[in-house]
Amino acid sequence: MKCTSCGKELPEGVAFCMFCGAKLETPAPAPAEDAPVEEPIQPAPEPTAPGAIEEPTVKFPAPAPAPEPAPAQNPVQDTAPQPSPIPAPAPLDAPAPAPTAPEFAAAAAPAAKPKKMKPWMLVIGIIAALAIIGGIAYGVYQSNLAKQRAEDYSQAQSLYAAGKYEEAAEAFAALEDYEDCADMYKKCGLWIDAQKLEAAAGEDPAAWEKAADAYRKIGESKANNQATTCQNTATFYSASQLMAEKDWDGALALLADLPDDFMGSGDLKQECETWKIYEQAEALLAENHYYDAYKLFNSISSASYEGMSDPGERAQACVQPFPEAGVVYRADGYGEETTELVIESDNAYKNSYYKIYDGNTLALTVAVPAGGSATFRFPSGTYRINESYGSQWFGTDDMFGDDGAYFTCTFGGEDSFTFEYGNGYIMSSAGEGGGTSVGNHSTDRGSF
């Protein structure tokens, strides 16, 4: 049988559960077919005196008789546990015997009454439970908060690295005192200020220098690079202003510090150099240094800048008209005397120019147009004659320039010739009519 209270398996016929002490309602066993049913003998209660408290009488139901053991079917001893024998009940008027086994002590003792929980103990328990739950919830909240803040910080750093400083500033501000967010927020502000200065600088060198200073305050390599760019831009516009004032040397001094590929600085350097050459050529032309001016103009003939005349055309302006046939220069003391000389040219394409020296003194210069001749008179004497020819004339100083041909004439193998008083002479490359043969050997323009 089982206990109706705790469900434990119990021996048949017990009145109380030996585990929980609960009273069991066990029906009386049916009497055997041949055995007569005996009624339990109940002793008559003794009369009680008036006013005395009658003691309750405990009635125990008659225990069921123990079943007859079945005969053994085989020699193997049955090892199954046998139920403990139930002692016969004591007489009703006898005192209750002391239990002889521990399992019957619980059966004999009345069931213990459960203790009632006092209200304040319940409140404390609830508070303790809530505190534990709150602590767990707070720990989970803090963990999630830390994870979220770490993710927000990473996102703010990504915005900062991408140059989105206004968005990064808002993100860092939202994180307040998390790690270095306060410092990063300030750096975002410095970036924003510097970029605003840069955007508003235009072509003002001073504004670009302010932007450069703002970038330097950030203290990062990226910002320092941007500061360098702003400073170079300030230099570029300063040089441009000097160029507008035609201060080519001042502009070149500034541009020398800039890479050629920075905002076209290399082109500005070339423009400054070109303008310097152009203005120098104009000055030489104004001073009648035609050939030197010609060379400078020719060196920049392909240049074209606003306000600059075509250098190729200015070079051609340096070429002078060739003098008329005859004496171009006569030194004092070498007036028209009785000796006459005729110089004939058989070159139809190039003009000729002669210098006649008395020793080291230049006595006369004579121009002979291409294919023409020149006749002139001078004092008799021994002279040295130099001959040159060319197509472009740059004046008596530079003559035909470096493109001309320059020679010292020889007369019968000699570098000088004596012109006698009262005689006339003809010097011609044709060599007609006999006379002294005229040759030459090369010389340079500086020694001509």
- Single-letter residue type at 91: P
Q: Answer yes or no: is pLDDT of 221 > 80.
A: yes
Query: Which pLDDT band holds residue 83 (cuts at 50, 70, 90)?
Result: very low
Q: Answer yes or no: is pLDDT of 109 > 60.
A: no
Query: Which pLDDT band holds residue 53 (cuts at 50, 70, 90)?
Result: very low
Q: Answer yes or no: is pLDDT of 389 > 70.
A: yes
Query: Which pLDDT band holds residue 336 (cuts at 50, 70, 90)?
Result: confident
How much is the mean pLDDT over the chain?
A: 83
Q: Is 2 helix (H, G, I), strand (E, B) or coil?
A: strand
- Single-letter residue type at 285: L
pLDDT at 78 (0 to 100): 44
Distance (Å, whole) CA 77 – CA 431: 171
Buried/exposed 170-193: b ≥16 CB within 10 Å, e otherwise: ebbeebeebeebeebbebbebbeb
Query: Which pLDDT band holds residue 168 (cuts at 50, 70, 90)?
Result: very high
Distance (Å, whole) CA 203 – CA 205: 6
Both structure tokens of 142: 């803090």
Q: How far apart are the first and last CA of the chain?
A: 153
High-pLDDT (> 70) share of the chain, %? 78
Question: Which secondary structure element, helix H or strand E, spans residue 353, and what is its range?
Answer: strand 351-358
> Nearest Cα to 407, choosing from 369, 367, 441?
441
**pLDDT for 176-201, tens place per residue?**
889 999 999 999 999 999 999 999 99
Q: What is the maximal distance between C-alpha atoms in the chain?
A: 209
Query: Which pLDDT band holds residue 110 (cuts at 50, 70, 90)?
Result: low
- The whole-number average pLDDT for the span 77-83 is 45
pLDDT at 11 (0 to 100): 74
pLDDT at 4 (0 to 100): 81
Range name among 15-19, 49-53, 245-249, 412-416 with the lowest pLDDT average: 49-53
- Single-letter residue type at 233: T
pLDDT at 45 (0 to 100): 46
pLDDT at 114 (0 to 100): 62
Distance (Å, whole) CA 216 – CA 10: 94
Contact 44, 131 (CB under 8 A): no
Q: Is 344 helix (H, G, I), strand (E, B) or coil?
A: strand
Give the number of other CB atoms < 10 A from CB of residue 156: 25
Contact 388, 345 (CB under 8 A): no
Q: Answer yes or no: is pLDDT of 73 > 80.
A: no
Contact 13, 30 (CB under 8 A): no
With the CA atoms of 367, 369, 375 and 380 taken in that order, what torsion angle do they form, in degrees rounded to the nearest 10?
A: 40
Distance (Å, whole) CA 235 – CA 262: 11
pLDDT at 193 (0 to 100): 97
Distance (Å, whole) CA 292 – CA 288: 9
**pLDDT for 133-155, tens place per residue?**
888 888 888 788 789 989 999 99
Q: What CA–CA distances, in Å, run from 347 to 12, 107, 109, 403?
A: 162, 161, 162, 16
Q: Answer yes or no: is pLDDT of 62 > 90.
A: no
Contact 396, 388 (CB under 8 A): no
Both structure tokens of 34: 């041949």
Separation of CA 180 from chain center: 21
- Higher pLDDT residue, 296 or 47? 296
pTM confidence score: 0.61
β-strands 424-428, 339-344: how paired? parallel
pLDDT at 97 (0 to 100): 52
